[in-house]
Structure 1
């Protein structure tokens, strides 16, 4: 792109800041109208709740703001690329998306703003971004295929065990239907699982964190049933899974994600809210099997009925000298179990235990949870490079 074209892109920043979601909302509606087959690729739950249009609007704005040096966005792009690979996004899909994005810019902004010169500039900008993403994803696909037990695209897995972990969460043990090897993964990564949702008449994918340390026989995911959203797209996949029985099958993509336990000899601080415990449990089990680094487990949930994995964590703590736990329940009932702290997670109440030299801090939960505790850690003078986080759903938190 030349200087004039970059200037045109920058000139749209105020519009993207004020009306970016109007543009992305129009874009998705246009694309699904012309290419309805993509409804099976995209998470229709995030379309329904607006998170996807928000995430895309933020991504487009960030790209415009950094058009002079998009390489500064490489970590964010790799995170997006991981999710695209887990959904089996192909290079041809970028052509479809680009066609509808440029058409949306033209139709939403109108001829006075969306001049031929501006549309040409955005076309070039999008094509450059698409090339970057296709390159990133090609490397990920190759890495997945080259792993022992690795594969590309969707693979059939059989549910061989289902364990109730709490009132809301079930763990599913997924074994490869073909009986062949499965790919390794790093604690903290996730799978994409694809099921047919009768209410939508569509195959639908969802990302679920791997919730156990790696073993060579099966993958375990632990899924929260979104009971309040049972009839809404954002809850239909979890409800479909919770109705499944042992022997049912699902489609699974290879493990993905750039949120992972760092392989260093350092204390580990694991901070989670609700079902955000799942990738951190994988980290905890992995540490138990390997280094047994000093670890502090901090978890918060509403009450005892939804407190998943408590017995597992309690047993692990009793059997080890390297694990310390802090458990928070928002609404404590009478005769509550000893050791539970009333209220939401408060790092001030764990401050002495978590301020360990060179410690690594891992956060997982909803966006407000991550932001609040990230700010607390920074307030404790923790180096930002030692703080790692995973937000479930489309990426909206960019703190490092």
Structure 2
């Protein structure tokens, strides 16, 4: 338990952290990687280069400071981050390293304003916050290893098929190299794949949604090919050009807190943009297999027909369901975008709504959902990468 004095000091720093948070986290990552370059084998280099990881950590540190007297309020955010940590292989021994460099970055950025009293208070607070993360993540590691077919961190898989789904999306079917059964997972969850690119010093880690329902003898990920010069293009280009049937890759156990509620029979609306279709495929296929009477709408936006993956499969599944609709808009072919009017027409009344796609897409869609009266508790969304703040616009 933290003393009231420590709580008061930490809460008093919240406005400063809100103002200088990203500067602090940028310095933190720079210093930590300089001292411990081996950690670059864990972190996503693309998210670092784009500044997304720094922003996400800054938001987390600020939330922790603002809620230090009620850390239960940030448990949902902690759980979401813990899923990502578990899928990347972050272990309890990493936390002292993080704490040392985070406190050092606060001192470096704030200078004399970061008094010994403030640094000491933050050191105590960090221990409490780190213990919360460690406890949740250890439980996740144990559960991942204990389920039938499960494992703790990474396991070798073989690529057993590689299928072109569109001009920009290719599916990779992955099977355990030891031929053991696969664990079940929640439709919408993701895995981390880990591999080395010749000439690169550090391991590449990327998280991809599982794009088919559980219960198969393979995992399927469906990867969008990015520009090779983009920060996140290196991994996808290597997968497309150099990873083929028979090649091996390391895979984490499934993780993530964005998934279909399979215990519910309430209506569902799935809304995706671009490669955001991938977790929705797992959800839709699960509904088709397990609860075909459940009302569901699948709403998708793609640039063109050539960019769209799974169109024929979706139309076939929709035809087999009793209460399903499937609508797709091609923005560069004159259909426009998913907007307020489109959603008012096609969202199933009273449904749980799942949204996934590029951040601007989600901002527009979630703002429009609010505008047509959908309450916050009905909207679930997934970021590909570190969680960001959505800047919602309302009519």
Question: Given the two structures, how large is their TM-score scaled by the length of structure 2?
Answer: 0.95
1:218, 1:285 → 2: CA distance? 15
| Match in the other structure for 1:225 | 225
CA contact (8 A) 1:367 1:397 kept: no
Please state if 1:343 is matched with 2:336.
yes
Residues 82 and 167 of structure 1: CA distance in aligned 2, closer, same or farther (over 3 Å): same
2:130, 2:367 → 1: CA distance? 34
Residues 347 and 308 of structure 1: CA distance in aligned 2, closer, same or farther (over 3 Å): farther
| Match in the other structure for 2:267 | 267
| Match in the other structure for 2:101 | 100
| Match in the other structure for 1:160 | 160
Please state if 1:374 is matched with 2:373.
no
Structure 1 runs of 4+ aligned residues shifted over 6 Å read: none
CA contact (8 A) 2:83 2:255 kept: yes
Please state if 1:20 is matched with 2:18.
no
Matches within 5 A, 1:74-153: 74-110=75-111, 112-153=112-153
1:158, 1:353 → 2: CA distance? 40
Q: CA-to-partner distance for each residue in 1:335-370, whole Å, 9 max, x for gaps?
A: xxxxxx7111124124233242x3111001122222
Deviation at 1:104, TM superposition (A): 1.2
| Match in the other structure for 2:377 | 385
Aligned-partner SS, 1:325: strand
CA contact (8 A) 1:326 1:350 kept: no
Deviation at 1:200, TM superposition (A): 3.1
2:8, 2:252 → 1: CA distance? 40
Residues 199 and 56 of structure 1: CA distance in aligned 2, closer, same or farther (over 3 Å): farther
2:389, 2:11 → 1: CA distance? 23
Residues 22 and 199 of structure 1: CA distance in aligned 2, closer, same or farther (over 3 Å): farther
CA contact (8 A) 2:329 2:338 kept: yes
Please state if 1:255 is matched with 2:235.
no
Aligned residues: 388
Q: CA-to-partner distance for each residue in 1:46-77, whole Å, 9 max, x for gaps?
A: 11111110111111111111111011011110
Q: CA-to-partner distance for each residue in 1:90-142, whole Å, 9 max, x for gaps?
A: 100011111111111112211x2111111111111111100000011111111
CA contact (8 A) 1:267 1:295 kept: yes
CA contact (8 A) 1:391 1:397 kept: no
Aligned-partner SS, 1:208: strand
Aligned-partner SS, 1:158: strand
The gaps in structure 2 that reach 5 residues or longer are none
Deviation at 1:12, TM superposition (A): 1.9
Which shifted more, 320-329 or 183-192?
A: 320-329
1:77, 1:4 → 2: CA distance? 24
Aligned-partner SS, 1:331: helix
Deviation at 1:258, TM superposition (A): 0.6
Aligned-partner SS, 2:213: coil
| Match in the other structure for 1:337 | none
Deviation at 1:181, TM superposition (A): 1.4
The gaps in structure 1 that reach 5 residues or longer are 333-340
Residues 346 and 399 of structure 1: CA distance in aligned 2, closer, same or farther (over 3 Å): closer
What is the RMSD of the two structures over their aligned residues, measured on CA atoms? 1.6
CA contact (8 A) 1:371 1:397 kept: no
Please state if 1:204 is matched with 2:204.
yes
| Match in the other structure for 1:283 | 283
Aligned-partner SS, 1:193: strand
Deviation at 1:270, TM superposition (A): 0.3
CA contact (8 A) 1:213 1:285 kept: yes
Deviation at 1:317, TM superposition (A): 2.3
Please state if 1:313 is matched with 2:314.
yes
1:371, 1:299 → 2: CA distance? 15
Aligned-partner SS, 2:288: helix
| Match in the other structure for 2:238 | 240
Matches within 5 A, 1:318-337: 318-332=319-333
Q: CA-to-partner distance for each residue in 1:291-347, whole Å, 9 max, x for gaps?
A: 011111100011111111111112222333322111111111xxxxxxxx7111124
Which shifted more, 152-161 or 240-249?
A: 240-249
1:380, 1:150 → 2: CA distance? 42
Which shifted more, 16-25 or 69-78?
A: 16-25
Aligned-partner SS, 1:85: helix
| Match in the other structure for 2:356 | 364
